[in-house]
Amino acid sequence: MKALPPGSTIGILGAGQLGRMLSVAAAQLGYRTHIFAPDSGPANDVSAGYTRGAYDDAEALAVFGSHCDVVTYEFENVAADPIAELGRHVPVHPSPGALAIAQDRIEEKRFVAEMGGRTAPWRPVRSPAELDQALAEIGCPAILKTTRFGYDGKGQARLMGPHDAAAAWEAIGARPAILEALVAFEHEFSIVLARGADGTTASWPPPLNEHRNGILARSTVPAPAAVAAQWTEAAALAGRVAEALGYVGVLTLEFFASADGPVFNEMAPRVHNSGHWTIEGAVTSQFENHIRAICGLPLGPTGLAGTRVEMENLIGAQADAWLTLAAEPGAHLHLYGKSEARPGRKMGHVTRVER
């Protein structure tokens, strides 16, 4: 892949905060960004161009693609087929094939298992009868997740016993799902890995991830010893997944640190919330390395920029403390420019780096 020269335009599908931070990283390297989304969002504030359109609107996507030298995406809830068609006219990274696998929890589990990954026991569920059968085979407690379009705890329901089946099925909208046994684990962590077009890879130290109400609340690096002991195995799996997909860009795999080793939870074919700490906490951020990868530049080093790094999400009204956070010595405040602080909505984050 020939490196794109500065001044080239990077198309980004999605107008959220990830697109915003990708745009900032792109600008630092001399690139322009052009956003495609149904509605304006945080990324529009820092982007040079914008095309409004539905993600399955082939005509609008074609117009958008004509303005771009390469296209990427900031979230995976976009239709894979129109993106594959777009890829016939302009390079798209990561590939639509990687997107299609990550969009379907069943395909994702099967694919990672083929790569040698360890997963929780699971069964596909397409009806109340199949849910009853899956519960009989897996047991409780368990969690029911829609196969598609679920994130931040959405599209999920926990079952403590068979008596919860009917309510859980209704809670996820009676849609195709996957039932997973709950894993006994000490910690949650993630591997954030960048892969260049030439096949070179670089990954960051795995953060300890703490969730609240299904939403990431805090990521901390270095992670505890129980995570560090499983870093090598988890990172090797991420590398095999990226290679098998011919992946270009940043890929994130989430894990549970269990007594048996790292248990794969899910995959995100994009930059990830658990990697936000890398903006100030690493030599090269996940956003810069994603831009470097998709533009054919060499990847930057991923070592820590301090002895300890903590990223705290500002969710809902937590962002109202922006003035206090701005006055905190050593705190790096990121506000996403969202107009309304709804409960459960990520409004920004703050990173603290100990030198």
- pLDDT for 154 beyond 70: yes
How do strand 331-335 and strand 308-315 relate by DSSP bridges? unpaired
Residue 77 has pLDDT above 60, yes or no: yes
Region 154-165 average pLDDT: 90
DSSP string, 118-144: -B--EEEE-SHHHHHHHHHHH-SSEEE
Sign for the CA dihedral angle at 246, 249, 254, 255 comes to: positive
One CATH from 3.40.190.10, 3.30.565.10, 3.30.1490.20, 1.10.10.10 for 121-181:
3.30.1490.20
CA–CA gap between residue 165 and residue 146 (Å, rounded) = 14
Average pLDDT over residues 19-42: 97
Over range 257-283, report the average pLDDT: 97
Query: Helix (H) and strand (E) counts for the chain?
Result: 12, 17
Q: What is the average pLDDT across 294-302?
A: 98
Token readout for 214 is 């299904």
Q: What pLDDT, in 10s, does the model give residues 44-65? A: 999 999 999 999 998 999 999 9
User: In this predicted structure, which of 9-13, 40-44, 58-62, 333-337 has the lowest mean pLDDT?
Assistant: 58-62
For the domain spanning 187-354, the CATH number is 3.30.470.20
pLDDT above 70 coverage of the chain, percent? 99
Query: HEC profile for 57-79?
Result: CHHHHHHHHHCCCEEEECCCCCC
Of the candidate CATH numbers 3.30.1440.10, 3.40.50.20, 3.20.20.70, 3.40.50.11440, the domain formed by 9-92 belongs to 3.40.50.20
> What is the phi-psi region of residue 47: left when phi exceeds 0, alpha when psi lies from -120 to 50, beta otherwise?
beta
CA-to-CA distance for 198 and 186, rounded, in angstroms?
36
Mean pLDDT of all residues in 187-200: 97
248 burial class (0-12, 13-18, 19+ CB within 10 angstroms)?
buried
**Residue 153: band (very low, low, confident or very high) from pLDDT cuts 50, 70, 90:** low
Determine which helix (DSSP H) or strand (DSSP E) holds 183, and give its type and residue range: none
Domain boundaries, the chain: 9-92, 121-181, 187-354
Q: Could you please report the per-residue DSSP string of 310-339?
A: EEEEEEGGGGGGHHHHHTSTTEEEEE---S
Sorted by sequence, the CB contacts under 8 Å of residue 235 that are 6+ apart come out as: 191, 193, 203, 206
Task: Quote the CA–CA distance of 51 and 61 in Å, as a whole number.
Answer: 8
Site of tokens 């403590």: 160
The whole-number average pLDDT for the span 99-112 is: 94
Q: Which residues pair with 73 in a beta bridge?
A: 13
Return the structure tokens found at 86: 């777009």
Q: Is the dihedral of CA 321, 327, 333, 337 positive or negative?
A: positive
What is the 8-class DSSP label of residue 282?
Answer: B
Distance CA 308, CA 140 (A): 38
